[in-house]
C-alpha cells in the first residue's frame, strides 16, 4: 500500500572546477 520509488541521477552540464554536474534529474514512480 502506497509503495513508491524515487531515482536521483546527475544531469545537466558537468562543472570541471567542482567535479560535479550542475543539475539533478529526479524521477518518481508509484505502483498502480
pLDDT in tens, 1-32: 788 999 999 999 999 999 999 999 999 999 88
Q: What is this structure's pTM?
A: 0.54
pLDDT of residue 9: 97
pLDDT of residue 17: 97
Q: DSSP code of 19?
A: T
Predicted confidence at residue 31, as pLDDT, reads 86
Amino acid at each position: 500500500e502506497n509503495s513508491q520509488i524515487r531515482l536521483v541521477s546527475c544531469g545537466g552540464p558537468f562543472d570541471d572546477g567542482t567535479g560535479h554536474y550542475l543539475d539533478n534529474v529526479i524521477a518518481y514512480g508509484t505502483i498502480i
